[in-house]
Structure formats: C-alpha cells, structure tokens
Amino acid sequence: MEKLTHNQRWQNTVTRKEVDRLPTFYSATDEFTDSLQKYLNCNLDTILYDYFDIDYRFQGDGFEAKSWEPLYIGPEFKKYEDGTFENIWGSRQRYAYYGNGKYTETVEFALAKAETVRDIEKHLWPKVEWYDYKSILPVIERYPDYPFMVGYLAPGWFAWEVRGMSQFMIDCLENKAVAESILNHICDFGYEYFKKIIETVKDYIGKNVHCIHLADDWGTQQDLLMSPKVFDEFFAYQYRRLIDLAHSSGLKVEFHSCGSAIKIFPRFIEIGVDIMNPIQTSARDMDPLKIKNEFGKDLCFSGGIDVQQVLPKATVAEVKKEVFRVLDAMGNGGGYFPGPSHNIQAGTPVENVVAMYEAIHEYFGMKISLDKK
C-alpha cells in the first residue's frame, strides 16, 4: 500500500485498519539520548524523524516523552541551602546522582504526618492556573501530520509523592478517609487540568490530537503492587471519571502501568482504557502473545521491546530477533505501537537501539538509513 502519514498510521492502528507499518515512538533518559547523538554525530530531530522515522513528536522534558504537557508557570518552588527543593506537591526532594545521570528522590513528604481529613484539606494543593495550556498549541499546529497525546496524570504516584508510598498503602487499609481525600484532591485537580487542555485543543481533536495519558504502576517484577480490591475501592472511580471526560470529548486514553500487571487488565478494560503501555515483557506472565490473544480485542498496546535485558545486554542480531518475535505476537491485526518497554537507560548500547528501529522497518519491508559521519 502507499505510504501513510504518521497521523494516518496512528489512526489506522488504533482502529485495526491496514497500515504500511505500525507506528513507533522514542522514550529514553537524557543520558542515553546524549550518547545516541554522539554516536550518530547529528542532532536528535534528524535521528528521530529522518532516520528512525518515529510517529510521535518527542517532547522529552515531561514525565512521558510522547505526551505533551503544558508549560508550568506557577509559583517558584522553594529551594533550600542544602540543595534540596520542593516539588509541585509540596514535598522536599533532592537529586540523586549515578555516573553522569541523576533522578529526583523525595526526602520529606509534605503530608507524612497528616492524621485526619482536615489535615489533608489544609494542604496547599496545585492549582490548574499554574499551567500555560496554550503552550502545547504551536507544536500541534506545526505538525498536522503527526498524532498527539496531551496531558499526564498519575493519581497513585502523586499520592505517594505527597504522602509517602508505604504510608499511603497503610492508609488504604487503616485510614481510608485520608487515602480517599488525597486521591480526591489529586483527581479533582486532574479533572480540571484535562478540561482546560481539552478546551485548548478542541479544534484539533479528531484531526491530530487523539489521546490523553494516565499512569500508575500496578505491577512489580513478579505480581501486582496492590490488590484488585484496592483498585476497585480507591482508584476505579477516579480513573473512570477522567476517562469518561476524555471519551466524551472524542479522545482516547493511554494508560501506563509497569511490571506484571496482566491480572488487572480486565479492570482497565472495564473502566474504558484504550491503550496499555509499556508492556514490560520481562516481568512475570507478561508474555506478548498471551496478552494479545486474551485482551487484543479490547485493548491496544504500546511498547513491548524489553529495556531490562534485551536492549542493554543482547547482540544486535538478538535484538532484531526479539523485535520480530514481539511484532509477530502483538502486531497481528493492528492495535500495537512498537517501541521500548520503558525509558531506554544510560549504558544501553546505541547499536542495539538503532537495531530495534531498523528491525521494525525491516519487518514491514522498509529500510532506514543514515550514514554515520
């Protein structure tokens, strides 16, 4: 068939129509991205759009690289003399360094000592006015032939950010009113945040704006992080009202959940999730063929190329073999967006990542080339 635009490719994939190839995306740490540019001796745009020919525009400075988030314009975060700083939830963080890379680590949770709902109510919660929603429009207008996913909210993760992961889990069992209040505040904010995003991009919905992004990691390497009962009691309603908002506006929903989350996929289907990401195939029971056979009629899938064992440790030939295996399993009948199963980490051989994108194209009888200078 004739070559599709990136936008057409996305639309055909999610509706299980014929495509020239399945649409791809890029997601990596800053450290790996730097090594990629040095290896190929050219800038990132050239690599992603001329060489890899990926189908999502890469924002790169948000929580999820393929989801475009509005620019933060709120109050400046408080900074301390010891180098720590507060985040949007009022928790105190620091940078933890590993080699040339770094990540944020919370050292003081804003609501760690809260005991009652009143304590939760008194907290300074983020406001939707703290974002410039029009900041996402220029790229959407500039690239009408690319699909866009807009906004990001992770209710559970943000609850841990403000309360502490262990304490929030205890709350779900012993102090349910506090757990519910925290989630209500986060999702009330999220609902208004997505409303403003939707209002801002309304003229592009159905054209090149297609999706919103929700996230919470429900899986560990071996099993669920929290029980389906906790999902049903605390999270299902919160997710559903955000999903219903998106659907009523003509948008689909991609949900990010790491780890062995297959046991809870039926719940995601029930609440209306359209696309599951990142399909961590190295986690227990996350076999791509099993996932596709059991849930492929109700869910699309995004990711699946392992960043834990395959990309960092395999040979180029082994990488290509694995890409073909996953495409055989998940690509049949559409509904699959091949790409890394999470952010590609520092130290991953660049040759293996190049091989991943080459293999995706080769699977569909195509070829990508960029002479290394």
Give the pLDDT band of residue 103 (cuts 50, 70, 90).
confident
Would you list the domain boundaries of the chain? 6-66+144-363
Backbone Cα Rg of the chain: 20
CA pair distance 170, 37, nearest whole angstrom: 45
Q: What is the mean pLDDT of residues 335-353?
A: 96
pTM of this prediction? 0.96
Residue 45 has pLDDT above 60, yes or no: yes
Both tokens of 239, joined, read 């997710």
Once rounded to an integer, what is the mean pLDDT over residues 179-190? 98
> What single-letter DSSP state applies at residue 197?
H
Over residues 224-237, the mean pLDDT reads 97
Q: Is 129 exposed, middle or buried (0-12, 13-18, 19+ CB in 10 A)?
A: exposed
The domain 6-66+144-363 is classified under which CATH number: 1.10.530.10, 3.30.465.10, 3.20.20.210, 3.90.79.10? 3.20.20.210
| Res 97: pLDDT | 86
Question: Residue 191 is encoded by which pair of tokens?
Answer: 């609902």
The residue length of the chain stands at 373
* DSSP, res 95: E
pLDDT digits (tens, 9 = 90+) for 268-284: 999 999 999 999 999 99
Dihedral sign, CA of 348, 351, 352, 358? positive
Sign, CA dihedral 270-271-274-275, equals negative
DSSP, res 204: G
d(CA 322, CA 339) in angstroms, rounded, equals 12
C-beta neighbour count of 223 within 10 angstroms: 16
Q: Roughly what angle, to the nearest 10 degrees, separates helices 350-363 and 316-330?
A: 40
Q: Distances in Å between the alpha carbon of 131 and those of 10, 124, 319, 328?
A: 28, 16, 41, 42
Q: How far apart are alpha carbons 286 and 222 in whole angstroms?
A: 10
197 within 8 A of 136, measured Cβ to Cβ: yes
Q: In terms of C-beta density within 10 A (0-12 exposed, 13-18 middle, 19 or more buried), how is residue 192 classed?
A: middle
pLDDT at 63 over 70: no
pLDDT digits (tens, 9 = 90+) for 141-170: 999 999 999 999 999 999 999 999 999 999
Whether the predicted pLDDT of 325 surpasses 50? yes
pLDDT reading at 137 higher than 50: yes
Looking at residues 239-251, what average pLDDT do you find? 98
The count of other CB atoms within 10 Å of the CB of residue 16 is: 14
